Structure 1
Amino acid sequence: MTFYQWQAEDLVLFVRVQPRASRAGIVGVHGDRLKVKITSAPVDGQANADLCKLFSKVFGVAKSQVILQSGQTSREKCLLVKSPKKLPDLITVRSPRFILDVS
């Protein structure tokens, strides 16, 4: 299993979060999850909000287009990014709206 999958034009991400880091950002891949560092503490949903804010910048979408599907109180989370505008190098395009030439 990989840390992401396409659902039509939406992207589902499987993430492992490290709260209270000195710097926020995507670190790399940790097993079958994308490892992300967040500077905020996991108190009152602040880490989840900062995670959605980080991914909204990374994928070029509004914060409302990044939805936390599962893992509200866990370090392992599942996020849905609706119609991402930008893709980091770690993610390849596999959406049905693109045709891949295999010849």
Structure 2
Amino acid sequence: MIGVESHPEGSVLRVRAHAGARRNEVAGEHDGALRVAVTQAPEKGKANKAIADLLAAQLGVRKRQIELLSGETSVQKRFLIRGLSAAELVLRLHSLKIPAGRRDDASR
């Protein structure tokens, strides 16, 4: 299950990032985090911005509602989704088209 926390301004989403990928995509779930791949290189915050933009598009929120809380230089990140409750975020995550067989890596 993807980690979602309540926050006074909305909700917090755990993300496992993969920068420099072949395409931008929500690639599944890994250790309780949403796996997100972006084509941008991890330099000067470009990949973080690309991840935030992709999250906004996939979750149906404005780009300005997404803020990186932690993990600026790490693959493990936490994004604040302003104005979206934890329950609503969970519903939107379930509606994403996550590739079959990639929802949970517990078998590793």
> What band does the TM-score fall into relative to the shorter chain?
0.7 to 0.9
Matches within 5 A, 1:1-103: 2-7=2-7, 10-84=10-84, 87-89=92-94
TM-score in terms of structure 2 length: 0.73
SS state of the match for residue 89, structure 1?
helix
Offset, 1:60:
1.6
1:31-69 deviation digits (Å, cap 9, x = unpaired): 121111111100111001101100111122221110000
Matches of 1:8 and 1:33 in 2, distance apart?
A: 21
C-alpha RMSD of the superposition:
2.3
- How far the C-alpha of 1:9 sits from its partner, in A, is 6.7
Question: What is the alpha-carbon distance in structure 1 between the residues aligned to residue 35 and residue 95 of structure 2?
Answer: 12
Larger radius of gyration: 1
Q: Which consecutive residues of structure 2, in runs of 5 or more, have no partner in the other structure?
A: 97-108
Give the C-alpha shift of residue 76 in structure 1: 0.6
Q: With the length of structure 1 as denominator, give the TM-score of the two structures.
A: 0.76
Retained in 1: the 8 A contact 2:14–2:33?
A: yes
Q: In 2, distance between residues paired with 1:89 and 1:9?
A: 22
Report the identity percentage: 33
Distance 2:55 2:44 in 1: 19
Confirm or deny: 8 A CA contact 2:2 2:29 kept in the other structure: no
Kindly indicate which of the two structures has a greater share of residues assigned to helix.
2
